[in-house]
Amino acid sequence: MAAVSMQISDGVAVITVDNPPVNAISQAVRQGLMDAIAAANADERARRILLICAGRTFMAGADVSEFGKPPLKPDLPDVVAAIEGSEKPVVAAIHGQALGGGLEIALGCHYRIALQGSRLGLPEVNLGLVPGAGGTQRLPRLIGAEKALEMITSGKPVNADKAAALGLVDQVMAGELQAEALVYTQTVAATVPAERRLSSRPVKTVSGSLFDDWRKVKAKRQRGVQSVQACIDAVEAACTLSFEAGRQKEREMFLALRGSAQSVALQHIFFAERQAGKVAGLNGAELMPVQSVAVIGAGTMGTGIAMAFAQKGFDVTLLELSAEALARGMERICSLNAKSVQRGRMSADQSEAMQARIRTTTDYADLADVDMVVEAVFEDLGVKTKVFAQLQAVCKPDVILASNTSYLDMNKLAATMERPENVVGMHFFSPANIMKLVEVVKTDYCNPVVLKTVLGLLKTLGKVGVVSGVCHGFIGNRMYQSYQREAGLLLLEGATPAQVDRALYQFGMAMGPFAVADMSGIDISYMMRKALTPEQYDTRAFTVHDRLVESDRKGQKTGAGFYRYEGGEGAGVNDPEVLALIESVADELGFERREISDAEIIERCMLGLVNEGAHIVEEGIAGSASDIDVVYVNGYGFPRHLGGPMHYAKAMGIDNAAAKIASYAEVLGDRWWSQSDTLNQAAVQGHWD
């Protein structure tokens, strides 16, 4: 079947794009559209043209298999221009998704109608690009500069109703699209009114400071992301230049960004996230039904996890030791919801409905029918084992039992159960109702269908699941310890907390490691380290942390940690006492202090992550280096536009990274800088996987 076909029906040339699964705009589709528009204009039986797509969606974007290859003619801008230039009026009938090039094609059409529930957007910014086929020039002419800026710089699609309110679509349809679209098309004027060709429309004048204001806001919110600023430039061009000059500028920016390091990194992480949720060899395996969920423990994590499920319509039973603990938990949920309502993130009705889906109990017997349990009680194997035994006594035999443990040995926990194959780790990040990452910990006993079910469920929750093997701290926290270790050693060697934090913030991390430690409480990792032997970590790097905790400087919650917090939360200020403590610990441990450059801070902390990451891949704890990148971008504030730590090494040249790691091994010793075969092989190959 041709990717694009044309049929005449009641005076309408119906052009159908059929390129499964998502009608990606491949070369065959582009050429097919060119030919079909020409044929429809030449065919006397048709006075009007309807563009529609077969299958589950309108055109949902570019053909990813053409990425990174020499461009094939015809270019998309020429296709859009041909559609817009059609003598006979063209109506786009949208269902499913009209994204990226798909929406740009629709903007080339003279009329747009959309089926209820469809989504329209220009997500190119998320791949480090600007829309490259006139989207930044036509959209402001249709919906105004400010709304266009909103859609283009966020990359977020709007639904059909919102699109109608914006003027992006002319009508929303509710029934059978093709039939309704045919009727609609027959009603449009046979001659295209001038203003229906968006390129010839003037743009409404905008206030002088609009673009600079947007640049400033976005420079803060999407720090360092080139494509966001380029999108603003492109929309500004639409408002200040002729259509042709603006379109040329857009194309130049698109081509320049396409090969940029940031775009390569953003594409890497885009594909890595899609890959992460897949379980090899399980195609066609039936998933286990999960409708009702229980959460054990209504503390920080349990409440967040309950919210994550309830938000997506699951019935949740929250179990605690006492009615008081449950009341505290529900209070927390209500107050978090109230804040979300206040900020406009959810309506009061949604908040109420969500809370109504969470029921509370102190009685395990109430969990007899649930399909899945997520345990989030104290981080103590004894306590968790007891909870699991109680669950086993009351739950259905095939219930999925998950633990939110951060560090404990999931194999040991699973081994205490009659059905260890149904036990899995589900390591959510705090706040669990917001953070996207969940490490799914696969024990030695794990049933792959359970794993696949959990990963599928996470997708439903809007989370990104990454499979991790069993080890202390799993993928993320195990690597984070290497990062903190280098940061801690750099303090002793001559840096200050503020310098380390500033250097890593400027690199792009959401926060520096000492600001993070103060925020989450230095005592949390202190307690975790108490369970380790001195052979398992570099005690020197954490001596300052330990001394701070022992003098009741646990971070923000005690008003002081690495920084001092005057007047509650917010940015901390430097504290001479901490600097004196660092110097005295350095002296005690025999460090000679020297000047440390920001470049060294970034390189050591990043390569600390990379080297541990390579060991983690070698041991099979992570399925691939790209899984590690997904963990770091979604759970640890690693800048998405740098693609994650393993991609960072690839971008600098893995051979180069390996050589630097080898030189650190010489200077700093190979206790932490020993090189894995995975690293050495990747250095030769030039890539990880």
Q: Where in the sequence numbering do the catalytic residues fall?
A: 104, 124
- CB of 429: closest distance to ligand NAI in angstroms? 6
* 508 touches ligand NAI (CB under 6 A): no
Binding flag, residue 376, ligand NAI (CB under 6 A) = yes
Q: Please report whether residue 306 would count as binding ligand NAI according to CB under 6 A.
A: no
* DSSP strand pairing (4-9 vs 12-17): antiparallel
Determine the interface stretch with ligand NAI among 11-19, 292-300, 437-445, 543-551 (rule: CB under 6 A): 292-300
Binding mask 414-433 for ligand NAI (x = CB under 6 A): -------------xxxx---
Q: Which of 74, 144, 224, 299 binds ligand NAI (CB under 6 A)?
A: 299
* Tokens (6 digits) for 657: 């990274």
Helix, strand, or coil (residue 446): coil
Which tokens in the block code for residue 447?
């049933």
Q: If binding is defined by CB under 6 A, does position 185 make contact with ligand NAI? A: no
* Least Å from the CB of residue 29 to ligand NAI: 45
Q: Identify which of 237, 182, 187, 198 has the alpha carbon closest to the alpha carbon of residue 80.
A: 198
Q: How far is CA 53 from CA 59, 123, 236, in A?
A: 7, 20, 32
Amino acid (1-letter code) at residue 165: A
Nearer to ligand NAI, 12 or 395 (CB): 395
Tell me if 179 contacts ligand NAI by CB under 6 A: no
Single residue of 104, 273, 320, 575 touching ligand NAI by CB under 6 A: 320
Comparison of 8 and 383: residue with beta carbon closer to ligand NAI: 383
Q: What's the min distance (Å) between Cβ of 388 and ligand NAI?
A: 10
Of the pair 382, 397, the CB lying nearest ligand NAI is at 382
Cβ nearer to ligand NAI, comparing 356 with 383:
383
CB of 26 to ligand NAI, least distance (A): 43
**Range in contact with ligand NAI (rule: CB under 6 A) among 84-92, 283-291, 310-318, 399-407:** 399-407
The CB-side HSE value for 251 (13 A sphere, CA atoms) comes to 12
CB-CB contact of 75 with 103 (8 Å): no
Is the CB of residue 435 less than 8 Å from the CB of residue 425? no
405 sits near ligand NAI (criterion: CB under 6 A): yes
525 sits near ligand NAI (criterion: CB under 6 A): no
Q: Which of 72, 174, 321, 348 binds ligand NAI (CB under 6 A)?
A: 321
Neighbours of 160 (CB within 10 A): 24
- The encoded tokens of residue 579 equal 């600097």
Q: How far apart are CA 74 and CA 69, in angstroms?
A: 14
- Which tokens sit at 653? 């040249």
159, 171, 260, 300: residue in contact with ligand NAI (rule CB under 6 A): 300
* Minimum CB distance to ligand NAI, residue 425 (Å): 10
Nearer to ligand NAI among residue 429 and residue 648 (C-beta): 429
> Whose Cβ is closer to ligand NAI: residue 266's or residue 318's?
318
Question: Tokens 């194999």 belong to which residue?
Answer: 411
The C-alpha torsion from 125 through 131 and 136 to 137, rounded to 10°, is 170
518 makes contact with ligand NAI (CB under 6 A):
no
CA distance linking residue 158 with residue 38, whole number of Å: 31
Phi, psi of 126 (to 5 degrees): -70, -15
Of the candidate spans 15-23, 214-222, 400-408, 591-599, the one that interacts with ligand NAI by CB under 6 A turns out to be 400-408
**Selection from 357, 352, 368 nearest residue 306 by Cα:** 357
What is the number of other CB atoms lying within 10 angstroms of the CB of residue 597? 11
**348-356 vs 300-311: helix axis angle to the nearest 10?**
110
Q: Choose which of 40, 94, 298, 628 interacts with ligand NAI (CB under 6 A).
A: 298
Number of residue whose CB is nearest ligand NAI: 299
Query: Toward ligand NAI, which CB reaches closer, 25 or 373?
Result: 373
User: Does the footprint of ligand NAI cover residue 305 (CB under 6 A)?
Assistant: no
Residues 318 and 320: their CA atoms lie apart, in Å, by 7
Sheet with 464-468: list strands edge to edge.
358-361, 315-319, 292-296, 372-375, 400-403, 423-428, 437-441, 464-468
| Shortest Å, Cβ 354 to ligand NAI | 19
Task: Please identify which residue in 123, 297, 635, 643 interacts with ligand NAI, judged by CB under 6 A.
Answer: 297
Rg of the chain over Cα atoms, rounded to whole angstroms, equals 28
486 binds ligand NAI (CB under 6 A): no
> Cβ(133)–Cβ(204) under 8 Å?
no
Token representation of residue 555: 């971070």
Tokens 């009508």 correspond to 171
Is the CB of 80 or the CB of 325 nearer to ligand NAI? Answer: 325
Tell me which residue of 172, 132, 130, 173 sits closest to 151, measured CA to CA: 130
Considering only residues 333 to 352 of the shown chain, the ones binding ligand NAI according to CB under 6 A are: none
Q: Binding residue for ligand NAI (CB under 6 A) from 4, 90, 94, 296?
A: 296
Interface pick for ligand NAI out of 383, 389, 531, 589 (rule CB under 6 A): 383
**Judged by CB under 6 A, how many residues of this single chain contact ligand NAI?**
24
89: helix, strand or coil = coil
Residue 523 touches ligand NAI, criterion: CB under 6 A: no
- Locus of tokens 């905008």: 206
Query: Of 360 and 543, which CB lies nearer to ligand NAI in the complex structure?
Result: 360
- Name the residue nearer to ligand NAI (CB basis): 174 or 321: 321
Applying CB under 6 A, the residues found at the interface with ligand NAI are: 296-302, 319-321, 325, 376-379, 383, 387, 404-406, 427-430
